[in-house]
Chain A
Amino acid sequence: MPIISVKNLTVKYGDQEVLSGVSFDIEKGDYVGIAGQNGSGKTTLIRALLGLVKVEKGEIYLDGIPLRKFNVWKKIGYLPQSMALSNSLFPASVKEIVALGLLSEKAFPRRIVSGDDEKIISTLQLLEISDIKDKLIGELSGGQRQRVFLAHALVSDPEILILDEPTTALDPEIRVIFFDILNKLNKERGVTILLISHDVGHIGNFADKLLYIDKKAVFFGLFKNFCESKEMENYFGEHLQHFICHQHGEEHKH
């Protein structure tokens, strides 16, 4: 059974169709890169998966459960776009922000108790940021901040991790470390990862599968199949397809 199943999904903003008849299945343990041009509907797609936008038509199933009935949100970790840039003045410590990630498994009245400390600290240790647990979010560098938000997404031990352009604001060195962490989570813990990137060539460096969105699902499958696909050659043009796949190959050599 696919861990995420999207069937004929259509989302509208007002009269404008942002996603039109998108369908795909993601299996447990997949590492999927979602690419597409600006305004192609990538962010809308993952916001629809998370129930944050109204679905006009179609069905979404998470872990086999229709989205409207799904309530096991602890299974899902989410890192929204540009989190590292925002919230810099928010008066919360790293530990408090990571603790918010545990609320999905709490019933009313939600409380973070001393027993939750172990989970918080072990997540901070996993991401090598336990030394900054008492610092304010505004006192951290962009890379540290993004790791804190990743810790927030991971603290409930999710089965699915959804990330929206998580490395846009990061230095290249920090970016490499960040992708190493995601790779370990996927390979060693079996976490299913969906990661949006505007750089389709770059996706081949970390993800096994590619979902290319242009209001509809233009391509979904293994990255190597994308490079060999005549259909994609026709869609992108031979030159661009080869450039993407060449970049992928070159980066792999380093």
Chain B
Amino acid sequence: MINMNILEIIQFAFVQKAFIAGSFVALLCSVLGLFLVLQRLSLIGDGLAHVSFGAIALGLFLGFYPVYFAIPVVILASVFILKLVKKGKFSGDAAIGIVSSTGIAAGVVLASLGSGFNVDLFSYLFGNILAISSMEMYFSIFLSLVVLVIIYLFYYDLFAITFNEDYAKIAGIKAELINSLLVILTAITCVLAVKVVGVMLVSSLLILPAVTALQLKRSFKSTIFISAIFSVMSVIIGIIFSIVLNIPAGASIVLCNFLIFILTFLFKRSS
């Protein structure tokens, strides 16, 4: 355990960068996560994170900056999942499984071919938010803001299709288009979240704040708000714990999310 108080910890530039980038990504995950959980699409985050692993490996293999390279590749994979469901008539979980396992397999093959970048690649497996550069932080903030603005503009469309797709269609909402938009935004979010918690734990950032907020639901808007607060709180507390206890930040953030979930669940049960 490192003997430092919180005020000392938050004065480090690398910690501040981790707080800022992590909070933006957490905010994004919490908002999108609620729509995904309610549409029973929670595991799409897991699938797209696995594709990120393959895409990042390919980026490293070809010598590109892996996150920039991964974003279009994962967006394509998300569109491929939608096509498998719509045109190929596969069930959603089967389509996610096909793309997810292919992503991991591609990553493993590329890792074995290009042994020089294995250390970099495996840092993406478990995340490395404390090592985020200023450039990566600005990039995360920019993309998070873009995605959040899109969610704001399509909030009622997303709300309507999440509640009932038939209702949404009769209101003149292009349900397929909005579903595609949701999956594409999730793809971008997954790549950004890989830097925070790693490929293995991305889905937890999408699922845990949402299911925690659902325990305390009073309205749709308040549920999103609660989910966002818990998600950002978990990132801040998780990063502090990771430094104080000298444990990996990604896992620490996810465990904080889980702790808040359990406490909320027990509170809800007891009341």
User: Contact residues of A with B, CB < 8 Å?
Assistant: 47, 50-52, 71, 73, 76, 78, 80, 83, 87, 89-93, 95-97, 100-101, 103-104, 106, 108-112, 134, 136, 152
Is B157 positioned at the interface, with any CB of A under 8 Å from its CB? yes
> Are A96 and B169 in contact, with the CB atoms below 8 A?
no
Chain B minimum-CB-distance residue to A108: B153
Chain B residue numbers with a CB within 8 Å of A90 are: 38, 163
A68 to B171, CA, bound (A): 15
* 27 A-B residue pairings within 8 Å (CB atoms): A50-B169, A51-B170, A78-B166, A83-B164, A87-B163, A90-B38, A90-B163, A91-B214, A91-B217, A91-B219, A92-B163, A92-B220, A96-B219, A96-B220, A96-B221, A100-B167, A100-B171, A103-B156, A103-B160, A103-B168, A103-B172, A104-B172, A108-B153, A109-B154, A110-B156, A110-B173, A136-B219
Of the candidates B153, B159, B167, B219, the one whose C-beta lies within 8 Å of that of A109 is B153
Chain B: interface residue total (CB-CB under 8 A)? 26
> Are B169 and A52 in contact, with the CB atoms below 8 A?
yes
A180 to B164, CA, bound (A): 27
Given A52-B166, A112-B156, A73 contacting B172 (CB threshold 8 A): yes
CB A116 to nearest CB in B, in angstroms, measures: 11
Is B223 positioned at the interface, with any CB of A under 8 Å from its CB? yes
A111 to B153, CA, bound (A): 9
> Are A50 and B170 in contact, with the CB atoms below 8 A?
yes
Chain B residue numbers with a CB within 8 Å of A92 are: 159, 163, 219-220
Using an 8 Å CB-CB cutoff, how does the interface string of B149-192 with A read, 1 for contact, 0 for none?
00011101101100110111111110000000000000000000
Interface centre among B154, B163, B214 (most CB of A within 10 A): B163
A96 to B171, CA, bound (A): 15
> Are A78 and B167 in contact, with the CB atoms below 8 A?
yes
> Are B219 and A93 in contact, with the CB atoms below 8 A?
yes
CB B179 to nearest CB in A, in angstroms, measures: 15
Instruction: State the 4 A-B residue pairs at the shortest beta-carbon distance, nearest first.
Output: A91-B217, A103-B171, A104-B171, A93-B219
Is B218 positioned at the interface, with any CB of A under 8 Å from its CB? yes
Chain A minimum-CB-distance residue to B223: A91
Using an 8 Å CB-CB cutoff, how does the interface string of B115-153 with A read, 1 for contact, 0 for none?
000000000000000000000000000000000000011
A41 to B152, CA, bound (A): 40
Given A73-B172, A103-B173, A106-B156, A80 contacting B218 (CB threshold 8 A): no
